Amino acid sequence: MGSPLRLTTVGLPPAAARRAWRLVVADVELTEGALSRWRAESSLSRLNAVAGSGEWVIAERRLYLALSASARAQRLTDGRFDPRVIARLEALGERAGVPLPEGSVEWDEPWLQRDPRHQAVRLAAPVDSGGIGKGLAVRWAVDRLTRAGLAGDGLLLEAGGDLFARGRPPEGSGWRIGIEDPETDGDPLAVIEIDGGAVVTSSTAVRHWTAPGGGAVHHLIDPATGAPGGDGLVAVTALATDPAWAEVWSKALFLAGPRRIADEARARGFAAWWVEGDRSLHMTPAARAVTIWTTQDRAA
């Protein structure tokens, strides 16, 4: 899914830790085979190839669950999360090399029909698994480790900007995680300490490019405009109990933009951190409660 994968285990002997790592890699590969828009043979790519045709397709379990989660995310975010932005990404030049069927997206129309009895789906337009797919990959890999008895006394699974921690950390009283500075590869802007949960960042730092028309664009598309959103923000980090939902809300909060993000995050009780274009770091009260250090502290 275009991200480095790293697993930290606590309380497992070396042989068991190696088995845990192999299990994580294998499970993430299964999710990639189901949900990647970058693989022509993935289940999602094959489904997208018949989107808009009216054809019902039996979906494998991971694809069916991801589509169902995406539909729910669209409802809960009032449409700010919408997997149909794949069409805009492709039009703006982020092409996966997997051809999409031609046709315009009817944004006001339902994009997914489901038949739970047969685990069948019908798409009105192609969709992208996006960040929620990576969050689900982390969730499912951790669940598989737990079922296999390989979660140990604690673990941290990281897939790029998606982290999930559980149990006892290697040292100290909590898991210490840096809030990235999207402008550098050096020191973080802040460090937080948590007992567990998912920490996810939506950022323009990696997936940005020059569109065919010459403008600078990034991958966080606002479905309301069809253009990159969150003008004035460069990164949003959210803390939640689940990595897939942390992904959804980090993106939804990013698209709220700098004028609305504070009020919305506070109203929902989120621990959220955001970086504006001048590299200034902001956070909600819930985020401040678990933040143990910031660059402002260092400057002082």
pTM score of the predicted model: 0.93
Are residues 179 and 124 part of one domain?
Answer: no
Average pLDDT of the chain? 92
Kindly give the residue spans of alpha helices, DSSP state H, lying in the chain: 14-35, 43-48, 61-76, 86-91, 130-147, 243-256, 261-267, 285-288, 295-299
Residue 186 confidence class, pLDDT cut points 50, 70, 90: low
Residue 37 lies in a domain: no
Are residues 101 and 192 part of one domain?
Answer: no
Are residues 176 and 119 part of one domain?
Answer: no
Domain count, the chain: 2
Residue ranges making up the domain that contains 246: 172-299
Domain final residue pick, 128, 148, 183: 128
Are residues 121 and 209 part of one domain?
Answer: no
CB atoms within 10 A of CB 78: 9
Domain final residue pick, 128, 157, 183: 128
Domain final residue pick, 128, 155, 187: 128
Residue 16 lies in a domain: no
C-alpha separations of 58 from 43, 65, 121, 170 in Å = 10, 12, 6, 44
SS3 state at 278: coil
Are residues 119 and 189 part of one domain?
Answer: no
Rounded to an integer, the average pLDDT of 282-297 is 91
CA distance 29 to 225: 34
Nearest to 219 by CA among 41, 106, 96: 96
Residue 279 tokens read as 């590299």
Per residue in 47-105, pLDDT tens? 999 999 999 999 999 999 999 999 999 999 999 999 999 999 998 888 887 888 888 88
Per residue in 142-174, pLDDT tens? 999 999 999 999 999 999 889 999 999 999 999
Tokens 């040292």 appear where? 171
